Amino acid sequence: RNTKRIAKEFEKGAGKRLHRELVELDEKNTHTSYISDPWFNMYLSAREPVVLNFNPFISLTPDPREAYNNQLVRATNLIISSIKFLKSLKHNYLRPDIYYGDPKWSESRLFKNFIRLLPTSVSWYGAYMVNAYPLDMSQYSRLFRSSRIPKLNKDELFTSECSRHLLVMRNGHFYVFDVLDSVENILHPSEIVAHLIYIIQEADRLPEFALSYLTTEDRNIWATVRQQLLEAGNEENLKKIDSAIFCLCLDNIFPKDEDELSHCLLHGNGFNRWFDKSISLIITGDGRAGINFEHSWGDGVAVLRFVNEVYRNSTRHPALLPHSRSAETTVITCERLEFKLNDSIQSAIHVAHEKFAERKKKMSMKRFKFRKFGKDYIVKQRMSPDAIFQLACQITFYRQFGRVVPSYEACSTAAFKHGRTETIRPTSMLTKQCSQAIVEERGKHSVAELRNMIDECSKYHRRLQMEAALGNGFDRHLFALKHLAVSRGEPTPDFFLDTAYQKINHNVISTSTLQSPAVNLGGFGPVVSDGFGIGYHVSDTWLGCNATSYLDEELQEFLRCLEYSLNDIFDILEGRPLIP
């Protein structure tokens, strides 16, 4: 009742005024979205370390031909495919991101020619006529040559316009070499692999002080130490790191299973990463590949497009064959970056290393796969695959803890200029009712009644997805209203101080998904200390996830209960009564 009173007062008073001012501000800034600046500000002002808290990872599917999964072969092919993507992007050859209401148009030559002939100013309307909607691609400009720069209180994003070099890390050492010449021709594959061989042979031991541990630190501490690095004469080396096209991490690690691979890609050993780079391409000793990306500049949609294109090109049109030899006459122009480290900086590296090791040790991560059904089966049931997995998570938490909690699912708003994400709220009265029926009232409801409950949850979740994608969610709107009040030095309205608003933003279950044949798995750390981070994948024939938590026993029990919940859903959809 108190929350309802506060909400009504906000709606008629401060909320109404802030909304009016937000609309006016939005109308004055037609070049961008009302959420863009506040969202950048939120990320860049966060003082927690980016690793484990913000940076997600994506694991690429192995090359279907085993011989191409050699570390040097795969690294070389992925480098060249990545540079091809960069060049296509820079010269406007990259095919636009489009949402097709009718998928048949996606491969229609008639449609492509029709749009190509239209002037840019009206091409959007031409696409709209056939129910096709161009998506915002502004984030792509920070995919390459970009880095997050630590600053006191608020970081900055840096992007170089014309750098030609690649940053390669091996055993904590930094190397740079040009992969593009002065007229933007890509270095020959045999020359690239020759440079990589040189780096692997040269960096055969760890440095005494691994500088990259500093990127795992609290942002204000890292900003202070970076200033010390600049004053000690390391400015040029830091510029080379920040402006590099991307970071290639050649790991001397051979993960024995998917769990070890996930740990490697999410945080690794710390010394062979530069977590501030917009994207880092990681290749393990056995040729497994993945991406770790800094999150402030963009979201999964841009990274997924990059992953899809690079995976497709590197597997279908590999530049380097397994039996190819490096160019024996290659002149190695690789530069190893040597840093001047005084006692204060060395001490900061040592402390950062210890803190990172402690945080890493506390976080658990487990891989989960359920093979009884996948997307194809759920679609045949005329239900939403995404909704079914989200419902399974709700049932699971209720089964384990006997209550419902705030949950989060990310949804892209790339349909809007400079759109970022909106929140889908999977927890609802419908999912609560269904969870209670399946967990506590197993003998009370018929199979038909339970199936109807699941169907209603699926329909409602689809509605929430559509609302979020079309900008009709509530989270970002409220976030922008609060940001507007705070940025103007006004007292925070009671609405945002209310325990209900604070609780709904303590997302115990935080989820995200990226669906693609190029993606093997993905994941991220939990967003709250008592929560779960669920990076899930809905394949044609199976459902799975990477789950993280700082509560190891609870995480193991969560995944055990998740299997029970999916089995219950499967039995209901198959028409079998639940065993009490």
Q: Quick one: pLDDT at residue 132?
A: 82
Q: Please, which residues have CB within 8 angstroms of residue 46's CB and are 6 or more apart in sequence?
A: 53, 54, 219
The two domains 42-91+142-362 and 364-574 share their CATH topology (first three levels equal): yes
Nearest residue to 328 (alpha-carbon basis) of 198, 192, 194, 197: 194
Residue showing tokens 């055969």: 204
Question: Phi, psi (5° rounding) for residue 157?
Answer: -100, 135
- Residue for token pair 């999410």: 266
Place of tokens 């040592």: 350
Bridge partners (DSSP) listed for residue 532? 509, 549
Q: Annotated active-site positions, please?
A: 295
- Rounded CA separation 157/155 (Å): 7
SS3 assignment, position 509:
strand
Angle value at C-alpha 362, between 359 and 367, nearest 5 degrees: 115
Helix (H, G, I), strand (E, B) or coil at 352: helix
The per-residue pLDDT for 323 is 87
- Amino acid 216 reads T
Tens of pLDDT, residue by residue over 345-361, are 999 999 999 999 999 99
* CA–CA distance, 549 with 400 (Å, rounded to integer): 15
Q: Tell the residue number behind the tokens 């480290």, with chain if given.
A: 341
Q: How many CB atoms lie within 10 A of CB 7?
A: 16
Chain centroid to Cα 564, Å, comes to: 28
Has domain 42-91+142-362 been given CATH number 3.30.559.70?
A: yes
Tell me: the pLDDT tens digits for 427-453?
999 999 999 999 999 889 999 999 999
- The partner residues of 513 in beta bridges, in order of sequence, read 536
Q: What is the Cα gyration radius of the chain?
A: 25
What are the b/e assignments for 444-473, b being 16+ CB within 10 Å? ebeeeebbebbbebbebbeebbeebbeeeb
Question: Is it the case that residue 106 has pLDDT exceeding 70?
Answer: no
Nearest to 482 by CA among 474, 183, 503, 367: 474
Residue 95: is its pLDDT beyond 70?
Answer: yes
Q: What DSSP character marks residue 492?
A: P
Calculate the CA dihedral of residues 527, 528, 531, 533 and round it to 10 degrees: 10
Res. 395: pLDDT tops 90: yes
d(C-alpha 402, C-alpha 390), whole Å: 17
Q: What DSSP string describes 548-578?
A: EES-HHHHHHHHHHHHHHHHHHHHHHTTPPP
Q: The pTM is what?
A: 0.94
Average pLDDT, the chain: 95
pLDDT of residue 111: 77
Predicted pLDDT of residue 98? 87
pLDDT at position 327 is 67
Contact 229, 201 (CB under 8 A): no
Residue 388 has pLDDT above 70, yes or no: yes
- Give 523-531 contacts, CB < 8 A, sequence gap 24+: 523/56, 523/57, 523/262, 523/265, 523/266, 523/365, 523/547, 523/548, 524/55, 524/56, 524/57, 524/266, 524/548, 525/52, 525/53, 525/266, 525/363, 526/363, 526/550, 527/53, 527/408, 531/506, 531/507
- For residue 105, is pLDDT > 80? no
The yes-or-no verdict on residue 43 having pLDDT over 70 is yes
Question: Could you tell me which of 568, 566, 534, 563 has the C-alpha nearest to residue 548?
Answer: 534
Reported residue count of the chain is 580
Whether pLDDT at 160 is above 90? yes
| pLDDT at position 231 | 98
Residues 404 and 394 sit within 8 Å (Cβ to Cβ): yes
Sign of CA dihedral 334, 340, 346, 351: negative
Residues 367-376 have a mean pLDDT of 96
- Please say if the pLDDT value at position 326 is more than 80: no
pLDDT tens, 401-426? 999 999 999 999 999 999 999 999 99
If you average pLDDT over residues 323-337, what whole number do you get? 81
CA 159 to chain centre: 20
Show the tokens assigned to 40.
């950048």
Mean pLDDT of the region 74-90: 97
Q: Which two tokens stand for residue 76?
A: 């070389």
Domain locations in the chain as residue ranges: 42-91+142-362, 98-134, 364-574
Model pLDDT for residues 223-251, shown as the tens digit of each residue: 999 999 999 999 999 999 999 999 999 99
The whole-number pLDDT of residue 553 equals 97
What are 280's two structure tokens? 């880092």
CATH of domain 364-574: 3.30.559.10
Q: What is the three-state SS of 59-123?
A: EECCCCCHHHHCHHHHHHHHHHHHHHHHHHHHCCCCCCCEEECCHHHHHCHHHHHHHHHCCHHHH
Q: How confident is the model at residue 41 (pLDDT cuts 50, 70, 90)?
A: very high
Range 98-134 classified under CATH 1.20.1280.180: yes
Residue 277 has pLDDT above 80, yes or no: yes
Distance between CA atoms of 180 and 187, rounded to whole angstroms? 6
